[in-house]
Amino acid sequence: MNHRWRTLDIVVAAVIAVAFGVIFWAWGLVWRAADPLFAFFPPSQALIYGVWLVPAVLGGLVIRKPGAALFCEALAATVSALLGSEWGGVTIAQGLIQGLGAEVAFAAFRYRSFKLPTAALAGALTGLGAALFDFFVWNTEYALWAYRIPYALFTIVSATVIAGVGGWYLTRALAGTGALDRFAAGRERRTV
């Protein structure tokens, strides 16, 4: 497998990242608006966290080259920060940590497995990165067992389902349109 990035890889990764950067910014508004829905148990709000982690998995599944997951997640976080995310520039560092999680999953399979279990693992590890970042940066003032631990677990579950499984289905849906025909993900669709 050729791990060199083509110009097309860079352009598509950037498009994924910028589109999700805008989604991230909007999702921040949804997150705040949803606060009352989770007032019964505030850590459970992390069940909707996975939306912020989709580009790491999607980028890895589409581009299938070292650095794609990291690039997509970090650039999306940067775009979100530039658009005025309430969390500011810290989201850039957060995006790097989150993208590393998915990158580790794809690297563990030497960028050769892009099946649903690999995508779910990429989502879970991206969620683990997010959970650890939040655990030590954003949630330090909260109680360990009453908030931080459940929040971390909900984040990992959300990432596994929304970013991992959802990212895999989103890749298949995009491939089904023919939009990914110049990528392995699109060529797989034609052979199945």
Which pLDDT tens digit goes with each residue over 11-61?
999 999 999 999 999 999 999 999 999 999 999 999 999 999 999 999 999
Using alpha carbons, select from 154, 159, 188, 189 the residue that is nearest to residue 58.
159
134-171 pLDDT tens trace: 999 999 999 999 999 999 999 999 999 999 999 999 99
**Residue 191 predicted with pLDDT over 70:** no
Residue bearing the bigger pLDDT, 127 or 190 = 127
Assigned token pair, 3: 């791990």
The number of beta carbons lying within 10 Å of the beta carbon of residue 41 is 11
DSSP 8-state symbol, 42: G
DSSP 8-state symbol, 109: T
Using alpha carbons, select from 90, 81, 75, 103 the residue that is nearest to residue 12.
75
pLDDT of residue 2: 81
Q: For residues 135 and 153, is the Cβ–Cβ distance under 8 A?
A: no
Find the angle CA(165)-CA(168)-CA(171) to the nearest 5 degrees: 150
- Second-level CATH architecture of 7-187: Orthogonal Bundle (1.10)
For the chain, give every domain's residue range.
7-187
Q: What pTM value is reported for the model?
A: 0.95
Assigned token pair, 21: 């950067």
Question: CA–CA separation, 22 vs 148, rounded Å?
Answer: 28
